[in-house]
Amino acid sequence: MSGNISEFSAEEKQLIQDHFQDLLASARLSQSPEDQALITKAFNLANGAHDKMRRKSGEPYILHPIAVAKIATTEIGLGTNSIVSALLHDVVEDTDFTVDDIRMQFGEKVANIVDGLTKIAGVFDGQSDLQAENFKKIIMTMSNDLRVIFIKLADRLHNMRTLDSMPPNKQLKISSETLYIYAPLAHRLGLYSIKTELEDLCLKYHHPIEYRRIAEFIKTSESKRFTYINKFSLPITARLNAEKYTYEITGRPKSIYSIWHKMETKKVSLDEIYDLFAIRIIFDPDPNLPEKAQCWAIYSIITDIYAPRPDRLRDWISKPKSNGYEALHTTVMGPGGQWVEVQIRSRRMNEIAERGYAAHWKYKENTTSENELDKWIFEIRKQLEDPKTDAFDFLDEFKLNLFASEITVFTPKGESITLPSKSTVLDFAFEIHSEVGFHAYGAKVNHKLVALNQELNAGDQIEILTSEKQLPDADWVNYVSTAKARNAIKNYFKDQRRNVATDGKVHLEWLLEQCHMQISSNIIRKLSNHYQSKNKDELYYKLGLNKISTDEFRKIMETRSQSKWMKFWSISRSKNNNPTEKFDKSKPLIVDDGTQGYQIATCCNPIPGDDVIGYRLTDNELVIHSTSCPNAIRLNSSDSSNVVKVEWRSHKLMAFLGRLRIKGVYSPDAINEVTKVITNKLDVNLRSINIDCHDGIFEGKIDVYVHNNDFLTELINKLSKIKEVSHVTRDILENKN
């Protein structure tokens, strides 16, 4: 995020010194004279190296590494070497200093951390995405020293906090990357506060209107929430005081992102979100009694006062989460008939919940949870060391297991194995050994015969049945949810595919020889268009499966080619093929009814008024996605050079298909009123309406043609005013392609 170069003013130089002195004072783990001297030495080197360099915001660049170092020490709890590494983390990348220079002045540990944090340039082949390869390197280094990823997260957090100074396309790229990888990674490492802030900041740039609306709602409801928390807590406080506990009770609102995500997934409005906060009880344990027993004692006090909801008890003190999280969660019926979530933690548990594995270093003599992290890193390391794992596959599979909740299952001999929830019998088989997975044909779960795609539950005991005659099926990749199983299956078929492709390449060489031709880009292009192949490997594979004759080969060579992009993306050009204007990624691309060469992504079907991005297929072709579309987030993370921020304007020359979900109390008058609102009161055309009635309730979907998002919003508001209607929400149209 560096920008121009110019001399610093006297005020700016003083600002730099003030920020550095604040860092020194806040580094509570680094107050010895030796530590302070080492940090000062690192600052002096970094300050000199970044002299006259400025960020995009115009402020001195050195303020960024100082801020990263402060996050590392105050918000994550890291020590002197981490502060030094954070101060130096951009020196090697942006200046003439080398890792060897860092090693000579600060030692091997700091040099290795800085090296792990340094971006890569010109090392990998052109087919690999640079960001994906950078991330692979960070994870490789992480398996040797976790401080690399902690500092990387601190760096990303500060970049997100200062993202306003970046152009719109960079904001979308960085926030998509953050939501795709860094927020889940913070979650996996137990850095709850950082994960929450990263998600909220991503929402701010992806859906600014929704972000501001939810933030304002939380702010305006603060006094009401505070009053309720006091009312709820009073009887609990009286009991805890009587039992001589030292404690604090807080009521923390849910994050803006989690509220938005619940609205999106549950298809409910903000007014329908009731669990906007959770009560947290943090206590100082009696050192003479087990913490676990004290948690259950406080739970007993709470459930004596308020009736618990049995299906919402979460015991993470008997078996902590693999990211180290320990707590007891329960949901009880509070005053006014409102369900309230209560979290019970000791002071140690709370610090680990906020700071994750960084806090484990402080308490490691009291916990074995780090063993879970060691196992996770070991599995990641194995994936990375596999030469068949490419950067894109690694990113997808790595992310797959970051957010997964977990279950514990057992082997026939009673050994426990931790798997992500929703794991299947086949996941378990590959967890035992890849050869067991490859030859599995079924299993006995709790002594009952089941299929390979049977989903496992916590506590299941599994015996895998194998046969040497059994070989993997291509559908198996749809049966598994763990990265280990999916990678094993994919690699098996990659090997099979590679053999067929080699055979196809030999066959093509034979065809060329028979026709007295030599290989050329034109021949490859014609064959690729004919076989709808994205690259040479896919072409060779298809030729290996279907060994055409020399006559067929000559016919293909004589055929006029169609643009391969048309075939790959299942889209057609607009009637007027004038290209879109040349992309200027520093500012949004204006797309209106007169713009040609753009297509609507069928995965999310956005309409004018939605927050959107454009993905460039070719110089003349653009596909428009909603910014919250999973495909858009992935493209922004892995192929941002072809992504541009779009401002989509419509002048009612085009109509777009939108879908609404509606629910309410059934009566013939209600259905008539719904139809009347759509057809008579608004400028929309009804395409279809499907209503299903049962037990006096009607539910349905309405497809209408509208000109932009404002029409849908107005339609939702008018339908919501019908007294029988309980709620109306926008839905995403299914992709029919």
Does 156 lie in the same domain as 270? no
Q: Is residue 607 part of a domain?
A: no
Q: Do 227 and 167 fall within a single domain?
A: no
The answer to whether residues 225 and 297 belong to one domain is yes
Residues 7 and 135 in one domain: yes
Residue 606 lies in a domain: no
- Do 115 and 40 belong together in one domain? yes
Rounded CA-CA distance 343/51 in Å is 48
62-71, 343-352, 562-571: least confident range: 562-571
**Which of 355, 380, 409 is the endpoint of a domain?**
355
**Structural domain harbouring 526:** 491-561
Angle at the Cα of 700 (from 697 to 701), degrees rounded to 5?
165
Q: Which residues are catalytic?
A: 93-94
Is residue 242 a part of any domain in this protein? yes
Does 94 share its domain with 175?
yes
Residue 89 corresponds to which tokens in the numbers above?
């983390």
Q: Does residue 149 register a pLDDT over 90?
A: no
pLDDT of residue 144: 61
For 343, the token pair is 């979290």
Does residue 221 register a pLDDT over 70?
A: yes
How many helices (DSSP H) and strands (DSSP E) are in the chain?
30, 21
The pLDDT mean for the chain works out to 79
CATH code of the domain in which 715 resides: 3.30.70.260
Instruction: Report yes or no on 97 lying in a domain.
Output: yes
Residue 323 pLDDT grade (very low, low, confident, very high; cuts 50, 70, 90):
low
Calpha distance 492→363 (Å, rounded): 42
What is the CATH classification number for the domain harbouring 50? Answer: 1.10.3210.10
Last residue of a domain, one of 524, 541, 561: 561
**C-alpha to C-alpha distance for 179 and 160, rounded to whole angstroms:** 11
On whether both 168 and 234 belong to a single domain, the answer is no
- Residue 135 makes CB contacts below 8 A (sequence gap 6+) with 181, 391, 395
Question: pTM of the full predicted structure?
Answer: 0.60
Q: Are residues 131 and 223 in the same domain?
A: no
Residue 104 located in a structural domain: yes
**Tell me, what amino acid is at 236?**
I
Question: Does 122 map to a domain?
Answer: yes
Instruction: Say whether both 163 and 225 belong to one domain.
Output: no
Contact 600, 583 (CB under 8 A): no
Query: Do 8 and 116 share a structural domain?
Result: yes
**Inter-residue contact 660 to 730 (CB < 8 Å):** yes
Is residue 507 a contact partner of residue 546, using CB atoms and an 8 Å limit?
Answer: no
Q: Which residue type, as a one-letter code, is found at position 691?
A: I
Percentage of the chain lying above the pLDDT 70 cut: 79
Q: Quote the DSSP letter at residue 726.
A: E
Cα–Cα distance, 12 to 290 (Å, whole number): 53
The residue-averaged pLDDT of 331-355 equals 88
Q: Which of 294, 328, 355 is the last residue of a domain?
A: 355
In a domain, 37, yes or no: yes
**pLDDT at site 24:** 93
Mean pLDDT of 461-478: 88
Strands 338-346 and 328-334: antiparallel
The domain that holds 348 is classified in CATH as 3.30.460.10
- The type of residue at 551 is D
Per-residue pLDDT at 154 = 93
Mean per-residue pLDDT for 374-386?
57
Q: What is the pLDDT of residues 122-139, one digit of tens each?
A: 333 334 444 555 566 556
Say whether both 231 and 170 belong to one domain: no
Query: Which residues, 6+ apart, have CB-to-CB distance to 48 below 8 Å?
Result: none
From 476, 477, 478, 448, select the one nearest 460 (Cα to Cα).
Answer: 448
Report the Cα–Cα distance between both ends of the chain, in Å, rounded.
40
Q: Looking at the structure, tell me whether residues 24 and 105 fall in a common domain.
A: yes
Is 706 among the domain residues?
Answer: yes
Total tally of structural domains belonging to the chain: 4
Say if CB 187 and CB 100 are below 8 A apart.
no
Q: Which residues contact 201 (CB under 8 A, 6 or more apart)?
A: 160, 161, 163, 175, 178
